[in-house]
Copies of this chain bind each other. A is one copy, B any other.
Amino acid sequence: MSACSHRAAVRAGILITGTEVLTGIISDRNGPWLSERLVELGVDAAMIHIVGDRPDDLMAALRFMADSEMALIVTSGGLGPTADDLTVEIVAQFAGREMVLDAELEERIAEILRPLMSRWPGLDAEAIRSANRKQAVVPRGATVLDPVGTAPGLVVPPSDGACPIVVVLPGPPRELHEMWEKAVQTEPFRRAIAGAKVYRWGVVRLYGIPESEIANTLRAAADASVPLAPLEITTCLRRGEIEVATRYEAAAEPAYAAFLDFLAERHPDQLFSRDGSTVDEQMASLLAGSGWTVAVAESCTGGLMSGRLSELAGSSAYFLGGLVVYSNDAKISLAGVDPALIERFGAVSTEVAEALAVGAAMRLGADFGIGITGIAGPGGGTEEKPVGTVCFSVASRDGARLTRRLRLPGNRSDIRERSTTIAMHLLRRVLVGDVSAAPSSSVRDARTERA
């Protein structure tokens, strides 16, 4: 192992282990998650490396990261009770620390297993005890992070005092997330990242413009002498919205404020979130604060809109329920759509979307109703209504209507998912009063407009 000298920036490497991740059986979400957390701490996440459960490959990756001047290595996975889980042993070798049984930790793990074992009385208790003794053998001098599942995590400083330290975390994301918070608090961790600059982060969200337009906006801001140099701006498309994340040092706060003002002036209708809140969070706080209730009648989204409205804790305060009206019979009998409307305009039409919205509100007794009907594909498209054609309507008890017909790109899953985003934004617009209570016919003229 080379002696490491810190560069100006504190760099960290992320090491993801597991054959099932490497072979694509499971897609890795821990690498990007850890990368985001490190960046928040001012640490430069310089590489993510994924290897299978092979001791040589694991050790080679650790050495490579040390040679590449990482101050910190975070590993994920390989902490299970079976023999192919060998991260701890390899990390101990890497750090030059002997493996020792931590009797107190063994007892804590036994404590965790007791209720599990009583639930599964058929299991071989002795085999489990011995398998989990393995999880209590740890490098001497390492800081143990209490198990969230059954596996403890570790913060392992190298025996010779040179960098890097290794933070050893479990693979299941829920366990990893909870244990990360503990790891960050440990003294060796704080010491390893001591040189990291602390940045501020600003996140804003826009909806209804293409991502390429943001590049133009940045050029226009530079032309208008907005001081962009101290701002590290990243844009990305997430769930159909554009997220603009900006990293800057405290001294650049006025530059960030000027940038935000420029954005707001240029995209007044599209910039819906200046504080990073998602449209779901905005919907929830608009509804929860008002005492209003909402209901859905949906066809092509097949329950996903209801699923999204009930996603946040506390949603039962404003979400009453939904009708998944996949068949025409269900549209008629459950949502009360007039069969003549379906006959005349087709099941996928703005007229039926509006009838679904009104029907949902009436059947559930809600203040607002959402109607969605469309063709998610791959079959069912026609020349007039190709796959991706989706009609939306939001109706309020007092007669306001916001109705759209759109053509969405992508496959079945993209179309269903994107449709829930569009409906959520239409609902938000109605909730903030950004819609005149115009007769539906005049609103319907806007059907080709972008939602």
Give the interface of A toward B (CB within 8 A): 19-20, 22-29, 31-33, 35-36, 39, 45-52, 54, 57, 60-61, 64, 67-68, 81-82, 116, 120, 123-124, 127-128, 131, 174, 210, 212-213, 215-216, 219, 234, 236, 238, 243, 245, 296, 301-311, 313-316, 319-327, 329-330, 333-334, 363-365, 377-379, 410-414, 416
CB–CB B363/A334 < 8 A: yes
Given that A82-B215, A215-B131, A216-B124 are known contacts, is A47 also in contact with B20, CB under 8 Å in the complex? no
Residue on B nearest A245 in the bound complex, by CB: B25
Give min CB distance, A10 to chain B, whole Å: 15
CB–CB A51/B46 < 8 A: yes
Of the candidates B48, B210, B219, B326, which one forms a contact with A50 in the assembled complex, judged by CB atoms under 8 Å apart?
Answer: B48
CB–CB A22/B50 < 8 A: no
CB–CB A321/B321 < 8 A: no
**How many angstroms between the C-alpha atoms of A82 and B211 in the bound complex?**
11
Most chain B beta-carbon neighbours within 10 Å: one of A68, A309, A310, A378 = A310
Give min CB distance, A87 to chain B, whole Å: 15
**How many angstroms between the C-alpha atoms of A39 and B82 in the bound complex?**
25
Given that A68-B57, A411-B174 are known contacts, is A23 also in contact with B52, CB under 8 Å in the complex? no
Residues of chain B within 8 A of A35, CB atoms compared: 22-24
Residues of chain B within 8 A of A319, CB atoms compared: 302, 326
CB–CB B49/A49 < 8 A: yes
CB–CB B330/A364 < 8 A: yes
Given contacts A303-B324, A321-B327, 14 further A-B contacts (CB under 8 A): A23-B39, A120-B210, A303-B304, A303-B307, A311-B413, A313-B412, A314-B379, A319-B326, A321-B326, A321-B330, A323-B323, A323-B324, A327-B364, A334-B363
A-B contact pairs, 9 of them (CB 8 A): A22-B47, A23-B36, A46-B51, A116-B210, A174-B410, A296-B324, A306-B306, A313-B377, A334-B334
CB–CB B326/A324 < 8 A: no
Most chain B beta-carbon neighbours within 10 Å: one of A309, A323, A334, A413 = A323
**How many angstroms between the C-alpha atoms of A309 and B306 in the bound complex?**
14
Of the candidates B116, B245, B306, which one forms a contact with A20 in the assembled complex, judged by CB atoms under 8 Å apart?
Answer: B245
Given that A82-B215, A215-B131 are known contacts, is A310 also in contact with B321, CB under 8 Å in the complex? no
Residue on B nearest A81 in the bound complex, by CB: B212
CB–CB B81/A61 < 8 A: no
**How many angstroms between the C-alpha atoms of A416 and B308 in the bound complex?**
12
**How many angstroms between the C-alpha atoms of A396 and B305 in the bound complex?**
27
CB–CB A49/B50 < 8 A: yes
Given that A47-B50, A304-B303 are known contacts, is A321 also in contact with B323, CB under 8 Å in the complex? yes
Give min CB distance, A209 to chain B, whole Å: 9
Given that A27-B29, A81-B212, A411-B174 are known contacts, is A320 also in contact with B310, CB under 8 Å in the complex? no
Given that A47-B61, A120-B210 are known contacts, is A334 also in contact with B313, CB under 8 Å in the complex? no
CB–CB A22/B51 < 8 A: no
**How many angstroms between the C-alpha atoms of A377 and B315 in the bound complex?**
11
Give min CB distance, A245 to chain B, whole Å: 6
Residues of chain B within 8 A of A238, CB atoms compared: 25-26
**How many angstroms between the C-alpha atoms of A33 and B25 in the bound complex?**
10
Residue on B nearest A215 in the bound complex, by CB: B82
**How many angstroms between the C-alpha atoms of A32 and B54 in the bound complex?**
18
Give min CB distance, A36 to chain B, whole Å: 5
**How many angstroms between the C-alpha atoms of A54 and B60 in the bound complex?**
21
CB–CB A27/B32 < 8 A: yes
